[in-house]
Structure 1
Amino acid sequence: MALYELFSHPAERGYRAGLCSKAALFLLLAAALTYIPPLLVAYRSHGFWLKRSSYEEQPTVRFQHQVLLVALLGPEHGGFLAWSTFPAFNRLQGDHLRVPLVSSREEDRNQDGKMDMLHLKLELPLQPTEHVLGVQLILTFSYQLHRMSTFVMQSMAFLQSSFAVPGSQLYVNGDLRLQQKQPLGYSGLDVRYNVSVINGTSPFAYDYDLTHIVAAYQERNVTTVLNDANPIWLVGRAAEAPFVINAVIRYPVEVISYQPGFWEMVKFAWVQYVSILLIFLWVFKRIKIFVFQNQVVTTIPVTAMPPGEVYKEHLS
């Protein structure tokens, strides 16, 4: 009758030696060379600790209905006209004050509860002999992020355009983009920039100077800027017509840079370490098998068998 192998299992062989023997010293050295070098390789290859990560989020942006406008005129008409939503600023302008008609609306196109864009129209009345050659405009916004840390700030969009020929209308269509000089936190509440961009209660002209406002704003580590505005300057204004600013400002999805937490850093580092460690484990296992099988270090081999086989051997 033909015989077939129905079941098999490996027989383990042990190697015995004293704790102060060369074999024990070899195993200690092999363990050190197995687990420590992968850590050094992963660390020296850069990026072992995840210092910065990123995610996408649609910010919660709302227009605060705060406007500061400076319209540049020819020198024969006094140089400029100005107006803002801050009464203290308007009192400082004297004969340069000109109140425009302002209308705005925000739109939530995808109905997700977050506004997607701002439509702003500003009509500045002019005398028939007055001509606008340039515009400086500041709009302020409330800007919030919630997915990781709760980040709240008051930001602005600054628009500046000037042309050689008088205009009748300025059309702007751009994105309010987030700019970061440093990553945000991964958790907690961050309100360090939740302060007004313009000190609207100040009676001093210095606090409304555009160079001062922009310089103080740029000192922040997190700001917003009006990108890809593509201003279009239209000419041919009728004698009694106002100068018009039409602006469409979008609130796009942002890629937010943040400082990872401890467990995220450990998870990222662990994956790199283990991927290298597996190679070292395989290599040193083969080295240890060779050393002990060939008695490079002196040990006593012991074959381990299942209990049933040991019992049968004694019976025989």
Structure 2
Amino acid sequence: MTVVEIYSHSIMNRYKSSLCTKASLFILITLVLTFIPPLLIAYRSQGFWITTNTYQEQPDVKFKKEAMIILDTPQPGGFFAWSTYSNFNSLLQQNLRIPSVKSTETDVNGDGKFDQLNFTAQFPLAASESITSLQMILIFDFKLYRMSTFQMESLAYITFSSLTPGAKLTIFGDLRMYQKISLRHRGTDTRFNTSIVNSTSLFASDYDLTNILSSYSQRNVTTVYAPNYPIWKSGRGASQPFTIEVIITYPTETITYTPGFWELIKWGWVQYVTILLLFLWVFKKINVAVFSSQVFQTIVERPKLKQQ
């Protein structure tokens, strides 16, 4: 009858010695060499601590029904402008041109968050008037929820110019989040939830786009409008308005954040243990070879075998 091995287990020998012996010193050195070098290797390999991490989330974006539009003309007077801020409009005087405005936000996938904004403004013009370039800003409420509850007021800056007078500008693009710093991993973050335009001001400098964008660019977290397909149509009829049609998509963002303590520990532990297992295996082999050969004098206790 064929005999096969169906189970096995190791027999443990115990090696004893006093504390002040070469054997005890050898064990102390091997313990240090087993546990400390993996820590140093993990740290020096740029993989022990993660200072930043990323996740994906579609922001909750809402158009605040606030806008400012400046149209440049080749005619004397230089420009027409309009905004949703009454104080700014009163400063414009003869340069104020009130458009017909329509805005619609749509939730394409039905997840409860808006995915797109369609903004249209039609400016009435005389037959002798024409538009060659424009600048505009649209104001948004921008929120994130997955890690920290983050909220800020943000904007989309849109500009276009042409040598040919236009009848209509249609422009497609994305509202993208831009970070100079990492967000927090938890809590409520409203550091940047301040008004971009001081609508209560009576000073023209507070409505200057240069000043507005200069102040906005100093923020560590902003949004930028990334235009993809601007379409400029010329040939405006004498009685037709100049039309601006802006389509803005709110895409899913890759957010950079600073991990919390437990995430750091979890990541560091995985890096450390992976290297530690190799050191444990190597020094176990070394210890078995050293003590089984009695390189250092020790008292050996062998297990007693039961009589059958």
TM-score normalised per structure 2? 0.97
Displacement of 1:216: 0.5
Specify the code of the residue in structure 2 equivalent to 1:244: T
Instruction: Write out per-residue CA displacement over residues 19-42 of structure 1, whole angstroms, 9 at most, x where no aligned residue.
Output: 111100000000000000000000
Q: C-alpha separation between the residues in 1 aligned to 2:61 and 2:84? A: 19
Q: Which residue of 1 aligns with 2:122?
A: 123
The answer to whether the aligner puts 1:14 opposite 2:41 as a matched pair is no
Displacement of 1:141: 0.3
Displacement of 1:9: 3.7
Q: Which residue of 2 aligns with 1:278?
A: 277
Q: C-alpha separation between the residues in 1 aligned to 2:262 and 2:240? A: 63
The answer to whether the 8 Å contact 1:71/1:80 transfers is yes
Q: C-alpha separation between the residues in 1 aligned to 2:155 and 2:250? A: 12
Instruction: Write out per-residue CA displacement over residues 28-70 of structure 1, whole angstroms, 9 at most, x where no aligned residue.
Output: 0000000000000000111311110011111100000101010
Q: C-alpha separation between the residues in 2 aligned to 1:11 and 1:126? A: 98
Q: Which residue of 1 aligns with 2:210?
A: 211
- 1:190-209, aligned counterparts within 5 Å? 190-209=189-208
Q: Which residue of 1 aligns with 2:29?
A: 29
Q: C-alpha separation between the residues in 2 aligned to 1:282 and 1:111? A: 55
Identity %: 48
Task: Tell me how large the CA RMSD over aligned residues is.
Answer: 1.6
Displacement of 1:240: 1.2
1:272/1:98 CA distance change after superposition, 3 Å: same
Q: C-alpha separation between the residues in 2 aligned to 1:299 and 1:201? A: 87
Q: C-alpha separation between the residues in 2 aligned to 1:101 and 1:121? A: 8
SS at 2:67 equivalent: strand
SS at 1:244 equivalent: strand
Specify the code of the residue in structure 1 equivalent to 2:139: T
Q: Which residue of 1 aligns with 2:52?
A: 52
Unaligned runs of 5+ in 2: none
Q: C-alpha separation between the residues in 1 aligned to 2:244 and 2:127? A: 18
The answer to whether the 8 Å contact 2:171/2:227 transfers is no
Q: C-alpha separation between the residues in 2 aligned to 1:10 and 1:265? A: 38
Q: Which moved more, 1:129-138 or 1:226-235?
A: 226-235
Q: C-alpha separation between the residues in 2 aligned to 1:89 and 1:216? A: 18
SS at 1:129 equivalent: coil
SS at 2:20 equivalent: coil
Q: Which residue of 2 aligns with 1:63?
A: 63
Instruction: Write out per-residue CA displacement over residues 235-274 of structure 1, whole angstroms, 9 at most, x where no aligned residue.
Output: 0000111100011100011111100000001000000000
Displacement of 1:4: 7.9
Q: C-alpha separation between the residues in 2 aligned to 1:3 and 1:242? A: 98
The answer to whether the 8 Å contact 1:149/1:185 transfers is yes
1:6/1:209 CA distance change after superposition, 3 Å: closer
Q: C-alpha separation between the residues in 1 aligned to 2:150 and 2:250? A: 16
Q: Which residue of 2 aligns with 1:132?
A: 131
SS at 2:302 equivalent: strand
SS at 1:192 equivalent: coil
1:200/1:30 CA distance change after superposition, 3 Å: same
The answer to whether the 8 Å contact 1:60/1:143 transfers is yes
TM-score normalised per structure 1? 0.94
Q: C-alpha separation between the residues in 2 aligned to 1:78 and 1:227? A: 31
Q: C-alpha separation between the residues in 2 aligned to 1:2 and 1:247? A: 84
Q: Which residue of 1 aligns with 2:89?
A: 90
Q: Which residue of 1 aligns with 2:76?
A: 77
Q: C-alpha separation between the residues in 1 aligned to 2:262 and 2:113? A: 31
The answer to whether the 8 Å contact 1:139/1:157 transfers is yes
The answer to whether the aligner puts 1:268 opposite 2:267 as a matched pair is yes
Q: C-alpha separation between the residues in 1 aligned to 2:6 and 2:252? A: 63
Unaligned runs of 5+ in 1: none
Q: Which moved more, 1:224-233 or 1:260-269?
A: 224-233
Q: C-alpha separation between the residues in 1 aligned to 2:61 and 2:4? A: 76
Q: Which residue of 1 aligns with 2:104?
A: 105
1:291/1:231 CA distance change after superposition, 3 Å: same
Q: Which residue of 2 aligns with 1:172?
A: 171
SS at 1:12 equivalent: coil
Q: C-alpha separation between the residues in 1 aligned to 2:6 and 2:228? A: 78
1:4/1:185 CA distance change after superposition, 3 Å: closer
Displacement of 1:14: 1.3
SS at 2:13 equivalent: strand
